[in-house]
Amino acid sequence: MIPELSGEIMTKTDVTVKFTYQDYLHMPEDRRYELVEGEFFMIPSPNEYHQRISRELEYALMTFVKKRKSGFVYYAPFDVVLSDEDVVQPDIIYVSKERGNIITHNNIQGAPDLVVEILSPKISYRDREIKRKLYGKHGVKEYWIVDPIKQAIEVLSNDVAGYKKNRHI
């Protein structure tokens, strides 16, 4: 007997929708989004203190990298496409000259050498836990978590066992 004709209602509750990079490209441009494991997250606009910290770190890193001609530094918003279901916009990104082939006109295709995230109160869990796992899984060599409240930088290095805390700055 056909369920629709017998009066039974068919429901499916175990359907999980995974969005892709193509879906991401169609999101409104007036807001920032990230795509993590096929799920969209809206990124709130950073506050003034966050922007100030970002500017100072970008300047220091850019000065260091330019002096050594060792690679390329970018800052948000600039897409890092880790996979078809993982697209993020880290606060600061470094790609070594040797790996410059992952840089395209529109985005970075693959894991940068360094990713810096400056914590914001509303999304700190995502940066500390979810993105740490995501960056580790995709091979980001070094991950800096900047804590504006503690005025500290946690430096994590990736090895075969995952990220290990290197030091606090």
What confidence tier does 71 reach under pLDDT thresholds 50, 70, 90?
very high
* Mean per-residue pLDDT, 107-122: 95
Neighbours of 15 (CB within 10 A): 6
pLDDT digit string, tens, across residues 35-67: 999 999 998 889 999 999 999 999 999 999 999
Is the CB of residue 136 less than 8 Å from the CB of residue 115?
A: no
Q: Is the pLDDT of residue 115 over 70?
A: yes
| Predicted local distance difference test score (pLDDT) of residue 12 | 54
CATH architecture for residues 3-168:
Alpha-Beta Complex (3.90)
Q: Which has more pLDDT, 1 or 45?
A: 45
Domain segments of the chain as ranges: 3-168
What confidence tier does 168 reach under pLDDT thresholds 50, 70, 90?
low
The pTM score is: 0.86
Q: Is the pLDDT of residue 2 over 80?
A: no
Q: Which has more pLDDT, 9 or 16?
A: 16
| Predicted local distance difference test score (pLDDT) of residue 123 | 81
What confidence tier does 133 reach under pLDDT thresholds 50, 70, 90?
very high
Location of structure tokens 């430096």? 155
CA distance 48 to 33: 20
Q: Which of 95, 103, 106, 78 is nearest to 139 (CA)?
A: 95
Q: Is the pLDDT of residue 107 over 60?
A: yes
Q: Which of 98, 65, 99, 66 is nearest to 80 (CA)?
A: 99
Question: Mean pLDDT over all residues of the chain?
Answer: 89
How many helices (H) and strands (E) the chain has is answered by 5, 11
Is the CB of residue 10 less than 8 Å from the CB of residue 18?
A: no
Tokens, residue 136 = 């580790």
